[in-house]
Amino acid sequence: MKRVLALDFDGVIWDSVGECFVMARRVYTEMYGLPCSDLEAAFRRGRWLVRTGGDFLLVLQLAMADPEGDLTHFPKAEFEKLQRDKAAETQAFSKEFYALREKTRDEHWQEWLSFQQPYPLLLQQFDELRKVFDQIVVCTTKDTKSAQALLASAGLELPIYGKELAVHKGDQIKALCQQHGVEPTQIFFIDDLVENLDQVRPSGAACGLAAWGYNTAAERQRAVAAGYPVLEVFSLAHDLKTMLSEQCPSPG
């Protein structure tokens, strides 16, 4: 049976938190004035809360309120309330964030590339993953052009289902099935956010959490409680092959 591996981009293939911080801080400066200086460590601790660009405003504001605070323990329900209460503000921020990302990518490529990098242990396993799966694709809330350019810089070319198609991962999986002629049960989806796994699970696709991505110990425990395997990058290909062989004979 044909097997498809669907990978999230940021936090699974690519470590982009540095780029997100630089872009968010520049946009914040343009819109509100220069934020207090030493925020990157706090911003990184809050990266797990973010789904789309507007959320970076909220993480910056939380970091400014308490630069030494541990946002890895910030209540998700409280963050979701901030998203609702500040929806107009984050929407405006999101528009500027993505515009600056596009401009920096297109006009200052080397600088933009320097803020981020792939996860090397994942890239090293692509050959092994291709022995397990017939196709590897990307499902991401990043814009397709940015994801394509970054993949190309690492020598990769993969089908991408980006934010232009949908930001709901379940909708991206549906489009993947239609375009590749597969059933959801033939797909294994990996994301670093539990809520994205929750979006995909009803489709029937198998799901796993990337332990190396933007999540916390509590989120990994939440994933285990929900029945999702928590995957380690150094043994990913081996673990996936083992899991799939237990379900049915290996493809091919």
User: How far is Cα of residue 209 from the mean position of the Cα atoms in its chain?
Assistant: 11
Is residue 48, in this structure, part of any structural domain at all? yes
- Asked if 186 and 2 touch (Cβ cutoff 8 Å), the reply is yes
Could you tell me the strand order of the sheet in which 160-161 lies?
160-161, 135-139, 4-7, 187-191, 206-210, 230-231
Q: pTM for this one?
A: 0.91
Residues 106 and 153 placed together within one structural domain of the fold: no
Residues in CB range of 213: below 8 A, 6 or more apart: 8, 11, 12, 191, 192, 193
Residues 8 and 127 placed together within one structural domain of the fold: yes
Res 248: pLDDT: 57
Residues 51 and 154 placed together within one structural domain of the fold: no
- Tokens (6 digits) for 47: 């990266």
Whether 1 shows a pLDDT value over 70: the answer reads yes
- Give the number of C-alpha atoms closer than 13 A to the C-alpha of residue 145, restricted to the C-beta side: 9
Residues in CB range of 34: below 8 A, 6 or more apart: none
| pLDDT greater at residue 1 or residue 231 | 231
- Asked if 216 and 72 touch (Cβ cutoff 8 Å), the reply is yes
Pairing of strands 14-15, 117-118: antiparallel
Tell me whether residue 30 is exposed, middle or buried, using C-beta atoms within 10 angstroms of its C-beta: 0 to 12, 13 to 18, 19 or more.
Answer: exposed
Q: What is the CATH number of the domain that holds 132?
A: 3.40.50.1000
Is residue 252, in this structure, part of any structural domain at all? no
- 163-175 pLDDT, tens digit each: 999 989 999 999 9
**pLDDT confidence of 35, banded at 50, 70, 90?**
confident
- 10-23 pLDDT, tens digit each: 999 999 999 999 99
**pLDDT confidence of 249, banded at 50, 70, 90?**
very low
Res 6: pLDDT: 98
Average of per-residue pLDDT values in the chain: 94
- Tokens (6 digits) for 7: 């990978």
Res 252: pLDDT: 40
Residue that finishes a domain, picked among 70, 91, 114: 114
Which among 159, 240, 161 is positioned nearest to 196, based on CA atoms?
161
Q: Give me the domain span that covers residue 207.
A: 4-15+117-247
Which among 192, 200, 198 is positioned nearest to 233, based on CA atoms?
192
Distances (CA, A) of 155 to 150, 151, 173: 9, 6, 25
Which among 62, 50, 44, 5 is positioned nearest to 193, based on CA atoms?
50
Whether 208 shows a pLDDT value over 50: the answer reads yes
Res 91: pLDDT: 97
Helices 17-32 and 87-107: crossing angle, nearest 10°?
120
Residues 76 and 136 placed together within one structural domain of the fold: no
Residues 102 and 141 placed together within one structural domain of the fold: no
Residue that finishes a domain, picked among 114, 129, 152: 114
- Give the number of C-alpha atoms closer than 13 A to the C-alpha of residue 123, restricted to the C-beta side: 14
Work out the average pLDDT over 234-249: 86
Compute the CA torsion angle 24, 29, 30, 32 (nearest 10 deg). 110
Most confidently modeled range among 8-12, 29-33, 69-73 = 8-12
- 113-165 pLDDT, tens digit each: 999 999 999 999 999 999 999 999 999 999 999 999 999 999 999 999 999 99
Is residue 194, in this structure, part of any structural domain at all? yes
- 82-111 pLDDT, tens digit each: 999 999 999 999 999 999 999 999 999 999
